[in-house]
Amino acid sequence: MNLLTFKPYLVVAVILCLLTSCARLINSPYKTVTVYTTRPSKLFFNNDSLLTSENQAEIVLRRGKAPVKVKIVSDSITKNITLKAHNSGAYYLNIPANFGVGMLVDMRSSKRYSYPSYIYVNSADTLSRYYHHNRENKKGKNLLHVSLPYINSFRLSPDNERVKINTGFLGIAVGFDHYHTNNQYINASISAVMDNEVFVPIGVDYRSTHTKMHSIYGSVSNNHKIGALSLGYGIAYAKNNWTIFQYNDSGTQTDSVTHRSAYIGKTSKNRYSVGLVSSAYYEIVPAFNIGVIYRPTFISFSGANRYEHLISIDLVWKIAL
């Protein structure tokens, strides 16, 4: 077998071998757990103790199958909570990485296990319990919403053209969240998304006829916070653009010389429309969410009414103001 032909298979084989034990490779022997309390508290765990700072403390636990008992003392209330171990995300990463073979390797490893990354304790609660998500009253709170709509799938209907469908990468959005009840908030955002062919912000030298799509839109939505899940619905106003960049497409290659196609020009078509927006987000950590946005538009202010949509996988950071 030719070495050049063999190399890709060799690379795949090496990667599979390296990833035969994802938990052993990725996880450290220790897991940091951030504890949030509603009052200054003292934590006792594994023959150690720690005071909270601004109602927050980080405890470092050795990974293992056994549960860890933590005593939290605040004023006259003492809570005894138990942090149960669970299989880590790195352990399940063995399934796509090596078809689950690594699970056999990780099965007896303490690195297989993890503990909750964040726990929330109501210091006034007389019951010894904790929550995985913040349950404090959020009414009146404001958050800065910054997101990267990373994967974007377009369905556009330019005038005098067939329906255009494409999926690409990159975008940015900035917005504002205001909690008008404890578990509902209004979001107002401005977003710009595109269908870049590569997943990093670099240009592509096409030198042949190609099309590009992008959308700029504003939206207002009402969102329900249910534990770690946020579900939203609202209205959006969008400018959807489809552009074709035309070349003479007569580029040829003779020996080592490439004769590139000449750029002729471009045709760009915009549609200004109003429609709906809906979203679903999951809170990974307190300040970071990942979710999906579905934004259909159907009432056009430029040309005939036509259905168009944008579906985005969105990465969101929320910063308290």
Mean pLDDT on 39-62: 94
| Mean residue pLDDT across the chain | 88
In a domain, 128, yes or no: no
CATH of the domain at 146: 2.40.160.20
Q: Which two tokens stand for residue 258?
A: 């490439």
Quick one: what percent of the chain has pLDDT higher than 90?
66
pLDDT one-digit tens code per residue, 97-156 = 777 888 998 999 999 999 999 899 999 888 999 988 877 778 999 999 999 999 999 999
Instruction: Give the chain's domain count.
Output: 2
Task: Say yes or no: 102 and 210 in one domain.
Answer: no
Residue 5 has pLDDT above 50, yes or no: no
In a domain, 177, yes or no: yes
In a domain, 19, yes or no: yes
- What residue numbers bound the domain in which 240 lies? 142-320
Task: Say yes or no: 159 and 86 in one domain.
Answer: no
Residue type, 296: P
CATH of the domain at 21: 2.60.40
Mean pLDDT on 47-75: 94
Confidence of residue 262 (pLDDT cuts 50, 70, 90): confident
Confidence of residue 8 (pLDDT cuts 50, 70, 90): low
Residue 2 has pLDDT above 50, yes or no: no
In a domain, 152, yes or no: yes
Domain boundary, last residue among 121, 156, 186: 121
Q: What is the dihedral of CA 123, 127, 131, 137, to 10 degrees?
A: -50
Residue 255 has pLDDT above 70, yes or no: no
More confident residue, 128 or 252: 128
Task: Say yes or no: 291 and 153 in one domain.
Answer: yes
Task: Say yes or no: 154 and 288 in one domain.
Answer: yes
Task: Say yes or no: 147 and 112 in one domain.
Answer: no
